[in-house]
Structure 1
Amino acid sequence: MDKKNRGYGEEEYTEEVYFAEEEAEKGRKPAKGPLRIASRIALVLHIVAAMLIVFFAATSGYLPGKYLLIVAAVMIASVILALPFHLGKGTGSRIGGIVISLVFTAVMSIGIFYLVRIMNTINTITNDEFAEIDTMVVAVLANDEAQTLADAADYTFGISMTDGQEKTQSSVDHVTGEIGRSITTEEYASPMDQANALLRGEIRAIIYNKAYTPTLDEGITEYSDKIRILYSFDLTSEAKNINERQASVEEPFTVYISGIDVEGPITTTSRSDVNILVTVNPYTHQILQTSTPRDYYVPIPGVSGEERDKLTHAGIYGINTSIETIESIYDVQVDYYVRVNFTSVINIVDALGGIDVYVEEPYGDFHHGINHMDGETALAFSRERYAFATGDNQRGRDQEAVIAAIIDKLTSREVLLHADALMEVMAANMQTSMTREDITKLVSRQLTEGIQWNNESQVATGTGDSQTTFSMGDTRLYVMWPDEDVIAGLSARIKEVLAAR
């Protein structure tokens, strides 16, 4: 340093002065203290963001090893690119380093945000608490003078044990607690009998599960217009954890898809209007969809004994009751379930950018062959049954076609890598017994192998009739008697797909 000690004392001639002179000689301005500090902070943020990206990508489990290595390599390369600028001694070099690191940090922060968002969504739909909500209502006649529950304290309340003694008693206890004293009750065989008794004036109020309302509307003309909901409340119960069966998505497995249509939480019990058993064989890349009509006239295990009811009503008693009913029909074990608010099909399909659906039976604006559909169109298509001579049977086939189109779009690499919008919709409208690990294994394998799945579908059929049901007592409703020969054939095909290697 001595050769440049121009007029400085020994103590005054510091390293900073030395570098300042060096930069001056080269025609560059030296980086000042605050700029160096800002450079170091930007570099640290850059490195931390890169480490977080790699950490979340690795712990999420979604990315296969080769993709994870690519992510890590890109993160390291970005730091290496910025490092020379931060180590440079000129003002311009440091400013360049700050800009490069802040840009990379911003991009990485967006990536971290979406990774965390996707992980949180998966955790939401795979919640292992398995709580179910029954929305119970107290109804009176539309012109009744009671405006609050307290106004009906002296009424006789009609009840039914159709939902089970425990749930019925919990409902009575809740109403009693709200009123502040015991209430008078009258027991009826079914919610339909309760409703008719209310309309005849035999009782002043009824307590029942809101999930029965659509069926009451079907059985009693303008039922909802003739009554008024005076009070409603939720009963929460814990459902049996189906994961105790210890199934694996790496082996052939079955998934029961239950499509409901409810307001409020997806965990609310409701009639199951869509009942599709999906059989998946990872070895043969085969997916088999088996659709069962909502009006199938079958016993409901653990609920109706030998008495028959409509399959859709099984959903009112909880997802596990629907599962056990499907298992009894096809003599196979259900490994997982997916419960979907079917109205959310609109949002799911729109989040996918629309789907291409194969239309088997043309009607209206739908032509034979592939039809591109947005959410509203797909929902309308999957609900239609009156346009077909075979009614519910064809609707089942159309619902399978919509689900097949959704699966095709879901298993494309493009959607899997840009799934944040879809995840937001799914979090609010879907519940599954699959674990987070199950889903990450499926996503990771699909990204790795890009599997082209072979989709096959089959539909249970039967004969329409008008019969009484367990849930609705002596009131006759439209039902469909199962064709046992058809059921035997469908069951055999399911078992064949499961056994293939």
Structure 2
Amino acid sequence: MTNVAKHSKNTISVVVKESSDMKKKTDLAGRSVGTLANINTTGSKKILKELTNSGISMEQKEFGSMTEMLESFYNGEVDSIVISESSRSQITDIEAYANFDSNTRVVYQTSYKVENTDKANAVSNITTTPFNVLISGSDTRGGFDENGRSDVIMVATLNPKTGTILLTSVPRDFYVTTACDAGDGCMEGQLDKITHTGIHGTNTTKRTVEKLLGIEINYTFKVGFDTVTDIVDAVGGIDVNVEPGYECNNFMHAPGLSVHAGVNHLNGEQALGYARERYAYSEGDRQRTKNQQQVLMGIVDKITSPAIVTNYAQIMDSMSNTFSTTMSNDEISSLIKYQLNSNLKWKMEQYMVNGTGDTLMCAELGDAAYVMVPDQSTVTTAKNKINAVLAGKSADDVE
């Protein structure tokens, strides 16, 4: 669980309309297929080569953007298109193609591995030295080793000497300059929503957050939907405090869930639904980010209690294969022992960078989409708050 896999998986599909007469791989022979000229070229080449090796030749037509390719597909200009499965959410986020999953189907699919370059920048002593952890929440449905968008981006700054944890959130639509290592396959130096960095692995998200905030990240913690439900259920549920005016009984991802003003006790599925909701709030993604922080604070409050800490091995076993972290087994054990010996009650602090909405070109889409343009003053404040906690001070003292 604490060993990050050497490779991640990318899955590529040839997609046709649901009404198409193409039912199996051999039906693709002689038909036309749309691909993207500058995006996901590795996957497109791989799947078309596999088809060619099987004696199935297709007429390829390249497009400059995702929306251009989709328009031609639905207009009947091409019989099929090649997509990366990690881009499905990008497609369905476009209002005109919200029903893409239901009115299309996959005729042929393949996967290939990409090297995972994420490594720890470990501190000398995790019980005495402050450190930063990137928490990246993936929206992938294809398995934990599948790359997908980073729909949760949060930096947890921990100072074990002062017992302080600062949670700094970056909204998924934050418009940033992408940073990555050579070979990550990302749009290095180009502007895009930060959520798209996860398509190229946690390391790309980490590098981009480091560049954005001007900080150093020591460890990463990649989670999926199952992580939230499993952790929350393993610790017996969590409590979240809902402010007056934020009551809700129409959660999109948790039908039947309702929360009232005051303290609410949530099980795993309810906590996940609460952390994912944005449409029920006028603040949209800003409120969802606050809810995510509340859920994480509820988890921290529960797992640092003596009753839970002493059973941590059993709890971690129950969450096997639901998350990965670059923090080592020894470092996790040291933190557990430190918590047991000190019975430290952590002080939780929160911050979120902010910005204004706009429609701008996104490198991964090859087209314009809704983004949040950063308010640089909030980015500076975030950096100052993180540095304050690392220096043994309180983030709340930073204006």
Does residue 215 (structure 1) correspond to residue 90 (structure 2)? The answer is yes
Contact 1:295–1:478 at 8 Å: present in 2 too? yes
> Does residue 1:438 correspond to 2:331, yes or no?
yes
Cross-structure match for 2:193 = 310
User: For the residues of structure 2 that align with 1:500 and 1:372, how far apart are their CA atoms?
Assistant: 33
Matches within 5 A, 1:57-456: 125-177=1-53, 179-180=54-55, 183-219=58-94, 220-221=96-97, 222-243=99-120, 245-248=121-124, 249-250=126-127, 251-302=129-180, 303-360=186-243, 362-364=246-248, 365-419=258-312, 421-456=314-349
State the TM-score, normalized to the length of structure 2.
0.87
The corresponding residue for 2:379 is 487
Is 1:161–1:168's contact at 8 Å kept on the other side of the alignment? Answer: no
Distance 1:405 1:154 in 2: 56
Superimposed CA distance per residue, residues 184-222 of structure 1 (whole angstroms, 9 cap, x where no aligned partner): 422222333332222122222222211111111121332
1:246-287 Cα distance to aligned partner (Å, 9 max, x none): 334232111111112332421111111111110111121110
Q: Which runs of 5+ in 1 are unaligned?
A: 1-124
Give the letter for the 1:188 counterpart. F
Shift of 1:499: 2.3
Instruction: Pick the structure with more strand per residue.
Output: 2
Q: Distance between the aligned counterparts of 1:162 and 1:436, measured in 2?
A: 40
Question: Using the alignment, how far apart are the partners of 1:171 and 1:210 within structure 2?
Answer: 13
Deviations 1:64-99 (A, max 9, x none): xxxxxxxxxxxxxxxxxxxxxxxxxxxxxxxxxxxx
- Checking the alignment, whether the CA contact within 8 Å between 2:43 and 2:84 is kept in structure 1 is no
Shift of 1:158: 1.8
Higher relative contact order (CA 8 A, sep 6+): 2
| Distance in 2 of aligned mates of 1:357 and 1:169 | 48
The answer on whether the counterparts of 2:14 and 2:106 sit within 8 Å (CA) in structure 1 is yes
1:305, CA displacement in angstroms? 4.6
State whether residues 4 and 324 of structure 2, in contact with CA within 8 Å, keep that contact through their aligned partners in structure 1: no
One-letter amino acid matched to 1:499: A
Distance in 1, Cα, partners of 2:26 & 2:177: 40
RMSD: 2.1
Greater helix share, structure number:
1
Aligned partners of 1:486, 1:232: CA distance in 2, in Å?
43
- In structure 2, C-alpha distance between the alignment counterparts of 1:162 and 1:433, rounded to whole Å: 32
Distance in 1 (CA, whole Å) between partners of 2:145 and 2:37 is 22
Percent of matched pairs sharing the same residue: 32
Tell me what 2:397 maps to: none
Letter in structure 1 aligned against 2:105:
R
Query: What is the CA–CA distance in structure 1 between the aligned matches of 2:62 and 2:219, rounded to whole Å?
Result: 37
Distance 1:376 1:442, change over 3 A: same
Distance (whole Å) between structure 1 residues aligned to residue 140 and residue 190 of structure 2: 27
The 3 A distance-change label for structure 1 pair 410 and 170 is: same
> Whose Rg is larger?
1
How many residues matched?
374
Show CA shifts across 1:355-386 (max 9, x none): 12232453124344432221222122212223
Taking structure 1 as reference, are residues 246 and 377 closer, same or farther at Cα in structure 2, changes over 3 Å only? closer
Question: CA–CA distance in 1 between the matches of 2:118 and 2:289?
Answer: 28
Quick one: structure 1 residues 348 and 198, their matched pair in 2 at CA, closer, same or farther if it must change by over 3 Å? Answer: same
Rounded to whole Å, the distance in 1 between the matches of 2:32 and 2:349 is 54
- CA spacing shift, 1:373–1:187, aligned 2, 3 Å: same
- The amino acid that maps onto 1:434 is M
Equivalent residues of 1:193, 1:473 under 8 A apart:
no
TM-score, scaled to structure 1: 0.70
- Structure 2 letter corresponding to 1:363: E
Q: Give unmatched runs, 5+ long, in structure 2.
A: 181-185, 249-257, 394-399
Looking at structure 1, the residues matched to 104 and 305 of structure 2 have their Cα atoms a distance apart, in angstroms, of 49
Q: Report matched runs for 1:2-13 at 5 Å.
A: none
Aligned equivalents of 2:33, 2:331: Cα separation in 1: 47
For the structure 1 residues 212 and 164, does the alpha-carbon distance in structure 2 shift closer, same or farther, using more than 3 Å as the test?
Answer: closer
Q: Match of 1:14?
A: none
Distance of 1:373 and 1:223 partners within structure 2: 32
Q: Is the 8 A contact 2:229 2:268 kept in 1?
A: yes
The answer on whether the counterparts of 1:393 and 1:460 sit within 8 Å (CA) in structure 2 is no
Distance 1:328 1:370 in 2: 37
Query: What is the letter of the counterpart of residue 5 of structure 2?
Result: E
Report the secondary structure of 1:242's partner residue: coil
Note closer, same or farther for the CA distance 1:272–1:128 as it changes in structure 2 (3 Å cut): closer
Distance 2:349 2:189 in 1: 33
